[in-house]
Structure 1
Amino acid sequence: MPRSPIRAPKPTLDLTDHLFVFRQPIPGELASGSDTGSEMPFPPVPETLRSESVFGNDRPLEIEVGSGKGLFLTNESGRNPEHNFLGIEIIHKYAKHSAARVAKAGRSNAKMISGNAQPLLADRVPAGSLEAVHVYFPDPWWKKRHRKRRVVNESSVKSFLAALRPGGRFHFWTDVLDYFEATIEMIAEIAPEFGVPIPEEKAASSHDLDYRTHFERRSRQNQIPVYRVRYEKR
């Protein structure tokens, strides 16, 4: 199910406290980086991604890979003010949209990175430092030859495992059964430290913003099954 259109944030909204830009070149149309022209420049990503360098405190840090429109980041940072939340989104306009959302909500414990999550997690997140990694409804890359582009792959799973503290959580939700089953099988083979997958139940939703992400809302409203699981690092 494709993403729906978004509106650009108002030019007067200052996002410099909520958006970093990772300038590594990315092939094709997914290239991130700040816009050119009259837009204010955004700060570069810190060399080390930890609460002290990103938020200026030592609260537990959770990372969401593929934040989309920022619904999870905004809601979860409000529900858990004693944790920090860092979203990473490869498409710049969505990263800006998410940053605008948390900025307008007044979330000092939530920020965004515009860029590719895989090198950031592999190279800039200290081992054993994260409280949780969240991946919700990533692009399934349907064609077999494109599956190496999936956000959850062997390389990223190893990075998640290394970055999480003992007892840290990896949450994975998708509405694509093939992707879900392939991921469960892959993790069992390459990351036994994650142990057995723990099913997560869907929460009751009485309001549009009660869903974890916009994709969850669309899937459930269209009666599309959602497959939810979490792992806890041993």
Structure 2
Amino acid sequence: MGRRALRKIDPELDLTGYLWRFEDLPRPWNPVSIFDRIAPLEVEVGSGKGMFLCQAAMANLQHDFLGIEIASKYARFTASRLAKLGLPNAAIVLGDALRVFAEIFPENAIDTVHIYFPDPWWKKRHWKRRIIRPSFLADLYRSLKPGGIVHFWTDVQQYFEESRALFREGGFEEKWAISELRAPSEAEGGPIPEGQPPPGYQTHFERRMRLQAVPIFKAIFQKPQQTPAESGSSAN
């Protein structure tokens, strides 16, 4: 199943405030410069066409949502969707998530991170390009607030298992992991675990995989409320 071509963006649409280039992000980081307020911050790595970003921002106006997308055409398309909806609590960055986390976000700045279907880079010689790597996870861990959550989904089981190990090695606690053949709204029995996004399709890619009956592997990781060093000092 091929990808549908992106709809043309209205040239009259003002993307100011919705589309941010990496070079224009506030330094030092100040979310007020983007959202005009301080609120819980959720970051999506690789926003694609913006389905999750739009749905999540509409569903939770009390939180701010910042997408990061390296492909210009998708970043601009997502920004146009946000602008049409007039969402005050969502924006997207055109840039490399590795650099945004390494150079922009300070310590304890983010409440939740969403990583849905990152490129698995199938060839072994390209695995070094995968977003889930020790250096990125170290920056992600630093940027998350204590108790902060990471949602990670992929349709590649090997990548899923390797990533779970890297998260644990990086100091994260695994709170939940599952393999699903159907969307949560279609699944039988049992409540959706705490911290899980609302039922239904979260991204365009997920929708394509569901139609092809491809299993989705999901996990939730958490930065501990206390680091090992803090836990040790409090026990003394």
Equivalent in the alignment of 2:201 = 211
Counterpart in the other structure of 1:152 = 132
Letter in 1 for 2:184: A
Contact 1:50 1:129 in 2 (8 A): no
Q: Which runs of 5+ in 1 are unaligned?
A: 24-43
Aligned residue in 2 for 1:39: none
Instruction: Give 1:89's match in structure 2, choosing from 69, 84, 88.
Output: 69
- Match for 1:223 among 213, 227, 231? 213
Q: What SS class does the counterpart of residue 171 from structure 1 fall into?
A: strand
Distance in 2 of aligned mates of 1:125 and 1:143: 31
Report what 1:61 is aligned to.
41
Displacement of 1:2 in angstroms is 7.0
8 Å CA contact 1:160, 1:170 repeated in 2: no
SS at match of 2:174: coil
Q: CA RMSD in A?
A: 1.8
| 1:4 Cα deviation after fit | 4.0
| Pairing partner for 2:95 from 106, 111, 115 | 115
Alignment TM-score, normalising by the size of structure 2: 0.83
Cα distance in 2 for residues equivalent to 1:214 and 1:49:
30
Per the TM alignment, residue 186 of structure 1 is displaced from its structure 2 partner at its CA by 1.5
Q: Secondary structure at the match of 1:158?
A: helix
1:84-114 deviation line (CA, Å, top 9, x unaligned): 0000000000000111111111211000111
**117, 141, 146: which one pairs with 1:137?**
117
Deviates more, 1:4-13 or 1:134-143: 4-13
Report the Cα offset of residue 150 of structure 1. 1.0
Q: 1:229, 1:160 → 2: CA distance?
A: 16
Compute the displacement of 1:50 (Å): 4.0
* Larger of the two Rg values belongs to structure: 2
Counterpart amino acid of residue 226 in structure 1: I
Q: 1:225 to 1:81 in 2, by over 3 A?
A: same
Percent sequence identity is 43
Structure 2 residue ranges without an equivalent (≥5): 187-198, 225-236
